[in-house]
């Protein structure tokens, strides 16, 4: 029987979670519960979802508080989202 090794959790996992929690709180305070994108015709105006502008970057500058229709619109229209800064390339975010 083949044994699979246990997944190792890297150092700093708790620190990353704490950093994400503080970034999330900062973004929620910044948005005051309102959608920060407002790009979808179906925008409800109330923020419901944290959107990562750059994949894997978990700081307040890379997060947006958006409604579900705007989040779907951003990913359905990436070229326009990049033009508006709602998506950014990871290399420019660092």
Q: Give 40-90 pLDDT, tens digit per residue.
A: 999 999 999 999 999 888 889 999 999 999 999 999 999 999 999 999 987
Give the residue with greater pLDDT, 15 vs 28. 28
Cα separation, 16 vs 46, whole angstroms? 27
pLDDT at 37: 96
Cα separation, 27 vs 31, whole angstroms? 6
Cα separation, 72 vs 52, whole angstroms? 13
- Give the pTM: 0.76
């Amino acid at each position: 029987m083949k044994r699979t090794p246990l997944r190792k959790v890297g150092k700093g996992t708790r620190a990353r979670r704490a950093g994400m929690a503080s970034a999330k709180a900062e973004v929620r305070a910044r948005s005051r519960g309102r959608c920060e994108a407002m790009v979808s015709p179906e925008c409800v105006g109330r923020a419901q979802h944290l959107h990562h502008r750059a994949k894997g970057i978990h700081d307040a500058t890379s997060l947006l508080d958006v409604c579900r229709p705007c989040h779907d619109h951003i990913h359905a229209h990436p070229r326009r989202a990049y033009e508006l800064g709602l998506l950014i390339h990871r290399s420019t975010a660092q």
